[in-house]
Amino acid sequence: MSLQLKNIVSTIQAKWFGDTPDSLIDTISIDSRSLQNSPSTLFFALVGPNNDAHIFIEELIDKGVLNFVVTHIPEGCETKANFLVVQNTLDALQLFAAYYRSLFEFPVIGLTGSNGKTIVKEWLNFLLSPDYNVIRSPKSYNSQVGVPLSVIAINEKHNLGIFEAGISTRAEMIKLEKIIKPTIGILTSIGSTHDEGFSNKEEKIKEKLTLFKNSKVLIYQRNPVVDACVDPNLKVFTWSFENKEADVFISKKEINAENTTIQYRYKGDSNELEIPFVDKASVENAISCLLVLLYFEYDKATIQNRIQLLYPVEMRLKVKNGINNCSIIDDSYSSDYQSLKIALDFLESQKKHANKTVILSDIFQSGLSNDELYTKVSQLIVSNKINRVIGIGETISEFQNKFANCITFKNTAEFVTNFENLNFANETILIKGARSFQFEEIVYLLEEKTHETVLEINLNAISHNLNYFKSKLEPGIKLMVMVKAFGYGSGGLEIANLLEHHKVDYLGVAFADEGISLKNGGVKLPIMVLNPENTSFPAIIQYQLEPEIYCLKGLHAFLKIAKQKNLHDYPIHIKLDTGMHRLGFEENTIEELIAALKENTTVKVKSVLSHMASSDDLIHQDFSLSQISLFDSLSTRMIKELNISPIRHILNTSGISNYPLAQFDMVRLGIGLYGVSNDPLEQKYLENVGTLKSVISQIRTIPAGESVGYGRRFMAEKPTKIATIPIGYADGISRAWGNGVGFVTIKGQKASVLGSICMDMLMVDVTEIDCTEGNAVIIFGENPTVSFIAKELNTIPYEILTSISQRVKRVFYR
Ligand SMILES: *Cc1c(COP(=O)(O)O)cnc(C)c1O
């Protein structure tokens, strides 16, 4: 892309402010974190219900970005950049994308449906790329924002587009239609997801079909409901298992051990096709692909050759723990320029290590000449501050001199031979390669080998929950997030990094060493330490942590050390006891507290806080209100007598929900961030964050009369199929969850825990479940939920979450 800024102004109906209308724009960005933002970037400041990218503009200008689409110009920035002012920045982005799309004329496949869009898109890309320069939506970029960003990546060399569109409510598809303008439509399966936004199924289908209103053909599986909704003037190309009138009639489906054979009739001929999957959804997705290949008039043999190579699609980027304290990002199934850009942005968001390595295969289907392509790739590598590049493949080897610190290998085998000499340690490694390079071998070498149990943390769910609670705050109220106890068991540093990106105001930890490890990890947000020991005060000062002071003894001890160090206005937080009776100054010590703080310049009361004993339980509402009012009066007294203006805060998660009038200046969010609410109504708005997963190690069937486990606490009354799972009480699974009380989920079905839970293992009943060794096991997550387990075990979700041992590997994903 290369467009003059002034030409964009009218396209997006903007008002122009700035000095350099001739500026050339070559990239569009909405991500303030991206290191790819540059002077030739046009940054669209999107405004969401809880997030407003306008707050990043000043920072971006400092980093050299010069061109912005905004709803208003941030104060003080007026003369520092070019601004295109519009009513709504998302509308502007969409208008721009529709305009950009109109500059190109080649076949574009548009996909929508409830399931399978991303998989069919990835597969079509794989099937068609030997013959076309394909541009496709990266990952599952199918939203009102994702679609414009996908389309904007088209360049002159592409000659086939594949874009997916997803909607959740009415009137959304028409906007996406204008941007994608598909010439060939595919409707994948119509399920029940996102039904809430529609009054019935017909309405949903009709809305989806608007994507194809200007298409030349629509490909779909015959189904009476869909048939009735399709515009009779639209040409269709259909398939069916039942309806012989479909263009492609599947007369037979045979499921074998590892694949499925179908018999299909097309134009009077009967053909056989082997699909390398056995599950229904994959087979149907492969048939959608078959129809596209038939529509493109591929011959039988080519179709069979390519379809039998279809592979499982990894839908999301994941960070895994690697050997020698490395972190690895596994994107080993694709290599194209667009997805490289996304993977590099993801790499940047993982700030765990200062050193970054990219292992990269030859890049295919860029639409550019190799020279241009590797020049652009090397620019990306430079702007993302990658320390070393390991190139694998004949072509990238040829262009090695374009990269600064780069080693290359002709193929993966050569890399494997030299693996030991590459000394991977303490770095983040992005592994990105085309399928044919079989980078899974590299992933295997680099992955830390521990047992198979992992706690998966969904970072998007954390962002969602954060935004939900933000939406409950009055304007201007600050937010402290509690990341004590290793982020409630979910991972301290990773979550702190995410919160820093979301610009929360404060972090809270319990002990100084928790704060120190966050600071060592590069966290810049101010951190309050809830229960500092006097012995930790020097370290607190050294690491710029902010202590909570809860008694006179502590105050004097801190003042003494701070004075020795000649500190001025060092931030401290004063905790008042208003009824919790745990830590804090009681009412009768306030006078002394005020006296001790008066006329002191060593410390500064940054905030005054208290903690509620029962904000979750409305039975104690009167008591809670009395705590709030005592907090109000005590803190007001401090403010008056000391002439200070501290941040005042008393609410934790359930306080935010139940006492919205007591937000004062800040709230302290804890458990809610991690997806747990004490209120079943509110729970519906939160997303599950952690999923504790394991695998089946071994399966056996025991006859009636045999026992299972220590103490023979389970006796089989009938032949029973037993699966052993490598997770036990040392991993944090309570023994009380054993002996038929608890269950795990395998293939969506309940398997109850048999006998006593061991230190490192437990056994479950899988008599009724069709499963094999190596199958995934869910200990908690969507089902059972942490809240459910807590209730059954007579405890609270906090205890379940924070009990999961540190030996369980945490895996973060978006
Ligand atoms: C843990 C903690 C919180 C957060 O509580 P949640 O119930 O998890 O929201 C808030 N304030 C203090 C003082 C805490 O110790």
The domain tally of the chain equals 5
Average pLDDT over residues 54-77: 95
Q: By the 8 A CB rule, do 347 and 34 touch?
A: no
755-771 pLDDT per residue, tens: 999 999 999 999 999 99
Indicate if 244 and 206 belong to the same structural domain: yes
Q: How confident is the model at residue 315 (pLDDT cuts 50, 70, 90)?
A: low
Is 683 part of a structural domain of the chain?
Answer: no
Is 684 part of a structural domain of the chain?
Answer: no
**Parallel/antiparallel/unpaired status of strands 184-187 and 108-112:** parallel
Indicate if 504 and 639 belong to the same structural domain: yes
SS3 state of residue 339? helix
Q: CATH number of the domain that 82 lies in? A: 3.40.1390.10
Q: Which of residues 364 and 772 earns the better pLDDT score? A: 772
Nearest alpha carbon, ligand 1 atom 13: 611
466-501 pLDDT per residue, tens: 999 999 999 999 999 999 999 999 988 999 999 998
Indicate if 185 and 232 belong to the same structural domain: yes
Ligand 1 atom nearest residue 510's Cα: 15
Known catalytic residue: 311? no
Q: Which residue has the tokens 């924002």?
A: 145
- Residue 698 scores a pLDDT above 80: yes
Q: By the 8 A CB rule, do 332 and 431 touch?
A: yes
Which of 611, 617, 647, 649 has most ligand 1 atoms within 8 Å of its beta carbon, as the pocket-test mutant? 611
Nearest alpha carbon, ligand 1 atom 6: 670
Indicate if 250 and 376 belong to the same structural domain: no
- Cα(583) to centroid of ligand 1, in Å? 13
Q: Which of residues 475 and 338 earns the better pLDDT score? A: 475
Q: What is the pLDDT of residue 2?
A: 83
Q: What is the pLDDT of residue 192?
A: 58
Q: What is the pLDDT of residue 210?
A: 96
- Residue 451 scores a pLDDT above 60: no
Q: How confident is the model at residue 449 (pLDDT cuts 50, 70, 90)?
A: low
Phi, psi of 719 (to 5 degrees): -55, 130
Non-local (6+) Cβ contacts of 367 within 8 A are: 133, 135, 155, 156, 157, 158
Instruction: Give the mean pLDDT of the chain.
Output: 93
Q: CATH number of the domain that 408 lies in? A: 3.90.190.20
Is 418 part of a structural domain of the chain?
Answer: yes
Indicate if 437 and 464 belong to the same structural domain: no
Indicate if 296 and 169 belong to the same structural domain: yes
Q: How many CB atoms lie within 10 A of CB 22?
A: 9
221-246 pLDDT per residue, tens: 999 999 999 999 999 999 999 999 99
Q: What is the pLDDT of residue 317?
A: 79
Indicate if 807 and 725 belong to the same structural domain: yes
| Orientation angle between helical segments 280-295 and 117-128, nearest 10 degrees | 40
Identity of the amino acid at 762: L
Last residue of a domain, one of 21, 56, 88: 88
Indicate if 698 and 652 belong to the same structural domain: no
Non-local (6+) Cβ contacts of 791 within 8 A are: none
Is 804 part of a structural domain of the chain?
Answer: yes
Non-local (6+) Cβ contacts of 363 within 8 A are: 335, 336, 337, 340, 373, 374, 377, 395, 396, 434
Percent of the chain whose pLDDT exceeds 70: 98
Which of 478, 627, 652 has most ligand 1 atoms within 8 Å of its beta carbon, as the pocket-test mutant? 652
* Distance separating alpha carbons of residues 749 and 726, to the nearest angstrom: 19
Q: How confident is the model at residue 140 (pLDDT cuts 50, 70, 90)?
A: confident
- Cα(812) to centroid of ligand 1, in Å? 24
Q: CATH number of the domain that 581 lies in? A: 3.20.20.10
Is 645 part of a structural domain of the chain?
Answer: yes
713-744 pLDDT per residue, tens: 999 999 999 999 999 999 999 999 999 999 99
Percent of the chain whose pLDDT exceeds 90: 78
Indicate if 580 and 710 belong to the same structural domain: no
Q: By the 8 A CB rule, do 644 and 458 touch?
A: no
Ligand 1 atom nearest residue 480's Cα: 10
Tokens for 46, please give them: 């999107």
Kind plus residue range of the DSSP H or E element containing 547: strand 546-549
Is 312 part of a structural domain of the chain?
Answer: no
24-38 pLDDT per residue, tens: 999 999 999 888 889
Average pLDDT over residues 89-110: 96
- Residue 450 scores a pLDDT above 60: no
Provide the CA 49 distance to its chain's centre, in angstroms: 18
- Cα(614) to centroid of ligand 1, in Å? 11
Known catalytic residue: 710? yes
Average pLDDT over residues 667-689: 94
Last residue of a domain, one of 307, 329, 349: 307
Ligand 1 atom nearest residue 669's Cα: 9
Indicate if 521 and 569 belong to the same structural domain: yes
Non-local (6+) Cβ contacts of 241 within 8 A are: 250, 253
Q: CATH number of the domain that 806 lies in? A: 2.40.37.10
Ligand 1 atom nearest residue 615's Cα: 7
Is 37 part of a structural domain of the chain?
Answer: yes
- Cα(797) to centroid of ligand 1, in Å? 13
Provide the CA 799 distance to its chain's centre, in angstroms: 25
Numbers of helices and strands, H then E, in the chain: 27, 41
Pick the range with the lowest mean pLDDT from 28-37, 168-177, 296-305, 336-345.
336-345
- Cα(480) to centroid of ligand 1, in Å? 10
Last residue of a domain, one of 32, 60, 88: 88
- Residue 52 scores a pLDDT above 60: yes
User: Comparing C-alpha atoms, which of 682, 572, 672, 582 is closest to residue 627?
Assistant: 582
Q: By the 8 A CB rule, do 50 and 471 touch?
A: yes
- Residue 576 scores a pLDDT above 60: yes
Nearest alpha carbon, ligand 1 atom 10: 652
Give residues (CB < 6 A) around ligand 1: 482, 530, 611, 652-653, 668-672
Indicate if 640 and 782 belong to the same structural domain: no
Q: What is the pLDDT of residue 325?
A: 85
Q: Of the residues 484, 575, 606, 693, which is catalytic? A: 484
Ligand 1 atom nearest residue 488's Cα: 8
Average pLDDT over residues 84-94: 97
Q: What is the pLDDT of residue 561?
A: 96
- Cα(728) to centroid of ligand 1, in Å? 29
Q: How far is CA 646 from CA 572, 584, 666, in A?
A: 10, 16, 11
Is 95 part of a structural domain of the chain?
Answer: no
Structural domain containing residue 384: 318-449
Q: What is the pLDDT of residue 519?
A: 94
Q: Which of residues 94 and 492 earns the better pLDDT score? A: 94
Q: What is the pLDDT of residue 761?
A: 96
Q: Of the residues 15, 280, 560, 710, which is catalytic? A: 710
Indicate if 245 and 126 belong to the same structural domain: yes
Tokens for 586, please give them: 């009681």
Q: How far is CA 64 from CA 42, 622, 688, in A?
A: 12, 55, 38
- Residue 506 scores a pLDDT above 60: yes
Tokens for 388, please give them: 């070393």
154-197 pLDDT per residue, tens: 988 899 999 999 988 888 999 999 999 999 999 998 765 546 67
Q: CATH number of the domain that 273 lies in? A: 3.40.1190.10
* Distance separating alpha carbons of residues 390 and 235, to the nearest angstrom: 49
Q: By the 8 A CB rule, do 361 and 339 touch?
A: no
